[in-house]
Structure 1
Amino acid sequence: MYTLASCDIPKAAAVWIEPLPLQSAKSATARGVAAQRALGPNDRVIVRDGHFYTSGEAGEAGANQRIRFFGVNLALSANFPSADDGEALASRLAELGVNLVRLHAIDQPAGSASANAYPVGILRDATHPELDRQAAAQLKSFITQLSKHGIYVDLNLHVNHTFPASRPGDFIPPQSKPLQIFDDEMIQWQIRYIRNLVAALDLRNTPALAMIEIDNESTLIDNWQEGSLPSLVKGRFLQELETKWAQYRVAHHLSPAPLPLVPRGVSATLAKEAAQFFVDLDASYIDLMTSTVSELIGKTTPIAGTQVAHGGRWRHGGFVNFDVNRSASFIDAHFYVDHYWFPHRQWDWTDWRISNSWLGDAADSTLLNVAYARAAGKPFVISEFNQPWPNQQDSAMLPVVTQLAVAQDWDGLILYNWSHDKNWHVTTPSDFSLKGDWTKLVQFAQCAHYFRAIRPNTAFPRTTISLSTDERMRAATRNVAGAFGSYLSDQHAVPLTLPAHRQIMMADAVAFRVRDEDHSPTSSYLDIDRGEKQIRFGSSYAAGVTGYLPVDQRVSTPILDVTLLPPSRGFATAFLTSVDSEPLAQSSHLLLTLPGFTMGSTRNGPQSLESSGLQGQWQTIAPERGGAPSSNLKDVSGPSQMERIPANVSLRIPSLGASVYPLSFDGTRLAAIPAKVTQTTVTFSVNTKSLPFAASYEIVIQH
């Protein structure tokens, strides 16, 4: 047992943490995930009635069915595996219930690929839109391998590409953002790149292509309302933007006026005109790219423009991004809890901080806020989300977000990420990666199975909130910056907690309006107790509790009770789901997960977060050697270690008998542990000294 720091507990708590006896990278919780068949022509994805469906004629295999996506991001070189690695990775992801991979950040030069190094991008070089042949061939092969395992792809177009300076004195910001939106040469380059990509990957004849995203986290209107345009748009690009502004004013019969690069210090009228100008430029860019893709691949291919809202440690976006995405056929958004902060240089993996906070600490501004990023009548996807390692409360993320997505009837959840590199198979944790984060790996297939099964009476009743164009523009001049819930609460008294019991859709109207569309019954619930710092969540098919659970005190949900036992530190996430698709009360086959946090190892035991010498609530892992401020998040020594959570568990399920099987971390069912069965409850203990260490349990009920 080790004493590890936790910022949310007044004193350092004794934590029971021990090495994981991993023989492979298999997951323990793939119960209920059926083998996925290869995708065929009838599996092409289309948009209908505000959701994703498969195409094809009714009655044909796989055709005309609603589909939800539960997946992971791959970034950079992870998108270009060798043939052997691609097959192994596709198989691994299918085992976890993944049915979509987001191919992210491929738009950069391939570099020097070899037997020991994948390509890091698909471009031949940074100057030309032509593709590297080997990289394109490897990506096409990988998409085929994913398809054979029933996994679709979400192809991202502009993410990373930084255009080289083509004139002396050109200033090109990172990833060229936002120049690629309005510079005519860059726009034509992107069109040629799209044509080359579609041809090389044969996307028109690829049923596995589920969706395409035009541009990642980039709009002029966001940069303008946040005041960052002066640092991003300079020299001839500023002149180009000012010329377009002058032309805009002439076309709209407005008198000449200087282009305000920030919304502050100008009249309300000029600020509103500038907001409309930037929104029109953003929307025109998305319109052009969307029409280009549709012409090449087909008009039914789901396309997103750019994220309505996104944010790591700071939020970005706004209501006007619905206008920006007017031609998009689906909407996506990103959100993170306790994203890394890099105090000196962005993405310096040896100099990072986290606050080690809990999902519920700011639920209104993160978890619930993202519900307002959904547009009525269009599918909604969270294409990036995470509470990245080594946060010690990250066990809350997957189950709670999954339950919210079920209740909101969203269409996709894509965790960021599986891997940034070729080391997809490692079993130690690192940065955002799921591949070695055993806390989330224990829960992933369980959450995939629950979300992808569209079950009756699990969606909240719908509420549509309408804002006028004029109000959306005025909100941009006030820098809403993605704080949708706070704005609606301040301006219109909409409760911040509305998404915790109503399904939210945003719409356009001549004036503000809130309309409850239906009062359909629902079994879903999401109860956030801010005083006790606990969340109870679930439906007829799932039950969970997360947060700071007092040791030796029972915490109850409608069907699941948990009592943490010493020496627990007083935090846990327990999640119970039906494996046989029956409601919990009638199910004969259940899965319970109760993982602790994950750490790598040092020579003296498990890694630990430390706050010594850091200002405020920031924490990091100190390196074992060298002078860096932090241990390298991309180079973590094994074995992986996990917090062990001892608890008493009680299920209020009528039964004649029950067997409770701990599952090893490689998926093996261990010998049954003692369980007390009455006519109304099944009670058992887990992870005490006399019991095996496990983070998941298969429960077989006799009715």
Structure 2
Amino acid sequence: VQTKPFPFSLPWDDASATATSVAALNPAPLTSQHKLVAKNGHFHDATGRRVRFVGMSIGAAAAFPRKADAPKIAARLHKYGVNLVRLHHLDAQWATPNLFNSKGRYTQTTALDPQSLDLLEFFIAQLKKNGIYVDLNLHVSREWLPGDGFPAGKLPEFGKVVAYFHPKAIALQKQFATQILTHKNPYTGLPLAADPVLALVELNNEDSLIGSAGQAEALPLAIRKPLEDGWRAYLAKKYGVTVALKKAWSGGSSLGQELLKRGSGAWIAEMQEQTKLLVTSVSAAGQTNAPTGPVLHLIPEKIDTTNWHLQLHQTGLTLETGKAYTVSFVAKASAPRPLYINTRLHQAPWSMVGLDASVGLDTQWKRYSFTFVANGSVVPGHCRLSLLLGDSTAAVFLGEWSLRPGSGGTALASGQSIELENIALGQVSGSPAGVDYTHYLMTVEAAYCRALKAAIAQTGCTASVACSQASYGGIAGAYRESKLDWVDMHAYWQHPSFPGAAFDPNNYRIENTSMLSVSSGAGVLDGLAMHRVSGKPFTVSEYDHPAPSEYSAEMTPLIFAYAAWQDWDGVFLFAYETDRSDKITGFFDQQLHPAKLGFLPAAAALFLRGDLVPASLTISLTVPVSKVPGLKGLGTDYAFWSLAQTRFVQGSLKNAPEKADATAFLTHRASIRFESDPGPLALGIQNLLPPTLSAPGFVWDHKEQQVRVHSPASKALIGKLGGKATRVPGFVAEVAPSARNFAVITLTARDGKPTEESAALLLTALDKAENPGLTWNAERTFAAGAWRSGPTQLDVPTATLQIVTKQLNVTVWALDGTGQRVKQVPATLENGTLTLAIGPEYQTLWYEIVAKS
């Protein structure tokens, strides 16, 4: 019996109609009857059929494949059940081609490159032919350039933040939307605006003015002026005169005892990898608006591309859950730069405990203040205040640092007033001034959404529109998206970090653990679920467990089972490249990764057919719209379900959770609803449906480190399976012990019938997949040569399986990388139970189980 890994690759152009094909799940080609609309919380086509998405992000150069390759790529996607492609990074400077220049970097973005557009439109036509919708991303990484009429000056990467408020940037985005939506595709005969292939439009990928407000302060004056003018007009309209503003901003509770220590010795520098920080004390005497007392001079002598690799902490702090605190300081920099500040645990799991903000320092002294509520797993004596300095080598000067209980008021800087129209941009905070600033930024984002959506509508396009991902802006981001057509999120389990250059394939770190190894909670899944807005379709348009993780096999069946359990509308894996290769080519490779793509036939069947009935227990968080700015200002990102101000409304229901913690998101379907007048609920969580007595189809077992999925036609066993028998109704897997005891096994009825009645089953079983020749470090957080060699190799479990069946005569086949039968597998059928043994001797992750006629 072979026990070593064996080569197994998935051909890049395979579209064969074999046992691994689930092409029949999606109608092809797309016609007018398949045009989508968002209604009643889900997507439906013109026939009334509900449409769920198994999606792939395809971006940058991969979105412009050669015409000889495009039909093959689209057909392969169709085979694996993919019915939506997210067209991403079409505007990337670093990609060749991109939509503005087929040869690479561009100097203007007012005209589309004809060659690039031709390749893109041909690819879209092939997707349409194969029943695959398109999600069009309008602004992802487009830069704002002098060639487009922008003044020279350092702007945020990928044009972020500025996209929301600068009139020129908004005009360029409207122009681009009009250009790409109205151009007649010569291969379909339709402009994209009128083509049923276009399902979704995203305005602005991973961007929030509210969530990145600190960057706005550091923008060149000519760029930030429209934002400043709008802020001053907002204050004038709300307060009229400075006296009224000062009275409102002076409110808040009195501040308690100082929690921070004075003196430079009170701070601890953290320098990871090769970074270096020099900390000295200087005098600021005589400088305009300078702080009193000691001033720290922080000189980042060496940085890398990861800002948290260079930090300064005060540790040993005690914060109380649900209590308000105010952090304030006076600072400037030797050159404009960002400064990130947060409060978090000073021990594992190092989670945030309330404050996560940034400011844009310039060369003038300025006072900054943030009021937040401590939340999360606060451990007395083990919290810290941290400054993140690894973004820039510009020196920082810091004085009058303070952390005190309470939510004190905010004083206007000397000489500033409504009448003089010179009040500076503020900070997103829980203070009265911070709440005003948060609400102002919300109005700016809302105006941006209205303007772009109107421009899209003018083209005749009726595709569903979202702005950005709901977590970008915290609860204010979720509210922003609630006013649009659908809600979207992103998540990565253990995204790599890079101690050197960003995305260096040869210098990275990953944590490399299973998501099922967490002692409680739901990994990254609860962070997704809490952003689903009631009454709106919900998708996750980027999801991945990046390579070379040794636990990538859990990714695809886990996310699609959870999405079905929560009754979501789509998951798009990130990302599908179009290389011709026989190996895993990078961190986010989907198309050539057997541990990810190999489970897609099973996951697509489960999700698209609706095999797994959604959770019958349902909870919803009701939020008054008027409270949103204040909740965001208090720093409640990813914590707004568990605030002290949130009360659970249990009523007479039994089995209701005591609180909406991460475990509740595993047992309940979750949503958030924004209401102008929620009545007696105020800010509260309620059970919407009574529990049922039936066994749940999705079980996350923290003790066993397993997820078990059961539905009539689809079953999955994921996690620590070795050395024990693991079962769901109708299916038992006894996996032999191994060094990792990790395995993922799915059983799928290809004909959609209950597995015990099905005459055609697909069995998928895998431990891990990786390229040969990689060399792990001692901690298994870095593998040298991870992408060097091929073909990819598989480790598969040795197991004895029992499948309940009503069939009388069954044959089992081991399949190759296209799903063709290559070897018969011995099996016995006695008393309605099929028993078979699988293992590395069959050199596959796929088995076809078929009844003889």
| TM-score normalised by structure 2 residue count | 0.71
In the TM superposition, what is the alpha-carbon distance from 1:568 to its structure 2 partner? 5.3
Pair 1:136-2:117 in alignment: yes
How many Å separate the matches in 2 of 1:24 and 1:151?
A: 18
Alignment of 1:16-27 (within 5 A): 16-20=4-8, 26=14
The residue matched to 2:530 in structure 1 has which SS? helix
Amino acid at match of 1:446: A
1:574 aligns with: 745
Q: Is it true that 1:695 corresponds to 2:845 in the alignment?
A: yes
Question: Map of 1:30-179 to 2, 5 A cutoff?
Answer: 30-34=20-24, 36-55=27-46, 63-108=47-92, 125-165=106-146, 170-179=153-162
Verify: 1:273 aligned to 2:273, yes or no: no
Residue of structure 2 equivalent to 1:308: 470
Shift of residue 578, structure 1, vs aligned partner = 1.7
Distance 1:609 1:458, change over 3 A: same
1:607-686 equivalences in 2 (<5 Å): 607-611=774-778, 619-623=781-785, 633=787, 636-686=788-838
| Matches of 1:346 and 1:154, distance apart in 2 | 27
Tell me, what secondary structure is at the counterpart of 1:196? helix
- The amino acid that maps onto 2:119 is Q
Q: Does the 8 Å contact 2:557/2:599 carry over to 1?
A: yes
Between the aligned partners of 2:701 and 2:635, the Cα distance in structure 1 is 30
Alpha-carbon deviations, 1:343-394, whole Å to 9, x = none? 2332222221111021224453511221111111111111110101111111
CA deviations 1:297-328 (Å, max 9, x no partner) are: 33x3211111102xxxxxx5422112222431
Letter in structure 2 aligned against 1:186? A
Amino acid at match of 1:158: H
Establish whether residue 287 from structure 1 lines up as the match of residue 287 from structure 2. no
Contact 2:13 2:72 in 1 (8 A): no
Rg larger for = 2
- Secondary structure at the counterpart of residue 357 of structure 1: coil
- After superposition, residues 200-219 of structure 1 pair within 5 angstroms as 200=183, 201=185, 202-219=191-208
SS at match of 2:510: coil
User: What amino acid sits opposite 2:116 in the alignment?
Assistant: A
Alpha carbons 1:110, 1:121 under 8 Å: kept:
no
Deviations 1:532-591 (A, max 9, x none): 22222232222212112233x212223322222254531111111221111233323222
Q: 2:548 aligns with which of 390, 409, 420?
A: 390
Partner of 1:534: 706
Q: Which letter does structure 1 place at the counterpart of 2:849?
A: I
For 2:826 and 2:28, locate their aligned partners in 1 and report how far apart those are by CA, in whole Å. Answer: 38
SS at structure 1 position matched to 2:505: coil
Which SS does the other structure have where 1:325 is aligned?
A: helix
Cα distance in 2 for residues equivalent to 1:237 and 1:29: 57
1:417 matched to 2:575? The reply is yes
Mapped partners of 1:475, 1:19: distance in 2: 53
| Equivalent runs, 1:128-527 vs 2, <5 Å | 128-165=109-146, 170-200=153-183, 201=185, 202-224=191-213, 229-230=216-217, 233-253=219-239, 256=242, 264=370, 267=409, 268-298=431-461, 300-309=462-471, 317-362=473-518, 363-419=521-577, 422-423=578-579, 426-455=582-611, 457-458=613-614, 460-483=616-639, 487=643, 493-509=659-675, 510=678, 511-519=682-690, 524-527=696-699
- What SS is found at the alignment partner of 1:381? strand
Question: 2: distance between equivalents of 1:357 and 1:137?
Answer: 43
Alpha-carbon separation, structure 1, partners of 2:846 and 2:201: 36
638-647 vs 101-110, greater mean Cα deviation: 101-110
Q: In 1, Cα distance between the equivalents of 2:644 and 2:42?
A: 26
Three-state SS of the structure 2 residue aligned to 1:319 is helix
Measure the CA separation in 2 of the matches of 1:642 and 1:540.
29
Distance 1:372 1:210, change over 3 A: same
Percentage of pairs with the same residue: 24
CA distance in 2, matches of 1:177, 1:148: 35
Contact 1:210 1:301 in 2 (8 A): yes
Which stretch has the larger CA shift, 436-445 or 154-163? 436-445
Per-residue CA distance 1:192-220 (angstroms, 9 max, x = gap) = 11111112251123110111111101011
Count of residues in Structure 1 that have an aligned counterpart in Structure 2: 647
Range 499-508 or range 648-657, more displaced: 648-657
Deviation (angstroms), 1:646: 1.1
Given the superposition, is the C-alpha separation of residues 358 and 23 from structure 1 closer, same or farther in structure 2, using an over 3 Å criterion? closer
Q: Is the 8 A contact 2:442 2:476 kept in 1?
A: yes
Q: CA deviation at 1:339?
A: 0.8
Provide the residue aligned with 2:428 in structure 1: none
Counterpart residue identity of residue 237, structure 1: I
Amino acid of the residue matched to residue 132 of structure 1? D
Deviations 1:615-647 (A, max 9, x none): xx6711124xxxxxxx5x5xx321211113211
Paired with 1:469 and 1:498, the residues of 2 have a C-alpha distance of 24
Equivalent of 1:554 in 697, 714, 725: 725
Structure 1 position 176, deviation (Å): 1.5
SS in 1 for 2:601: helix
Q: 1:110 to 1:450 in 2, by over 3 A?
A: same
Whichever residue aligns with residue 697 of structure 1, its letter is Y
CA contact (8 A) 1:458 1:524 kept: no
- Mapped partners of 1:404, 1:171: distance in 2: 42
Contact 2:20 / 2:762 at 8 angstroms: preserved in 1? Answer: no
The alpha-carbon distance between structure 1 residues 317 and 582, as it changes in their structure 2 partners (threshold 3 A), is farther
Contact 2:819–2:846, Cα closer than 8 Å, also in 1: no
Rate the CA distance shift 1:110–1:477 in 2: closer, same or farther, 3 A: closer
Shift of 1:484: 5.1
Structure with the bigger percentage of strand: 2
Structure 1 residues 520 and 40: alpha-carbon distance in aligned structure 2, compared to 1, 3 A threshold: farther
Tell me if the contact between 2:161 and 2:208 (Cα under 8 Å) persists in the aligned partners. Answer: yes
Change (3 A) 1:554 1:140: same
In structure 1, the residue matched to 2:758 is 587
CA distance in 2, matches of 1:360, 1:164: 45
Partner amino acid, structure 2, of 1:157: L
Q: Answer whether contact 1:662 1:696 (CA < 8 A) is retained.
A: yes
Contact 1:51 1:66 in 2 (8 A): yes
Give the Å deviation of 1:31.
4.0
Q: What SS is found at the alignment partner of 1:237?
A: helix
Whole-Å separation in 2 of the counterparts to 1:697 and 1:404? 24
Deviation readout 1:402-438 (Å, 9 max, x if unpaired): 111112111111101101xx52565444220112111
Task: Find the aligned partners of 2:138 and 2:99 in 1 and give their Cα distance.
Answer: 20
AA aligned to 1:104 is H
Q: Which residue of 2 aligns with 1:12?
A: none
Q: Deviations over 1:43-74 (max 9, x none)?
A: 1111121111112xxxxxxx331111101010
Query: What SS is found at the alignment partner of 1:335?
Result: strand
Contact (CA 8 Å) 1:655, 1:679: kept in 2 or not? no
Give the gaps of 5 or more residues in structure 1: 3-14, 56-62, 310-315, 612-616, 624-630
Partner amino acid, structure 1, of 2:137:
N
Aligned to 1:10: none
Cα pair distance change 1:120/1:78, threshold 3 Å = farther
Letter in 2 for 1:592: L
TM-score (structure 1 length as normaliser): 0.85
SS in 1 for 2:77: helix
SS at the partner of 1:87? helix
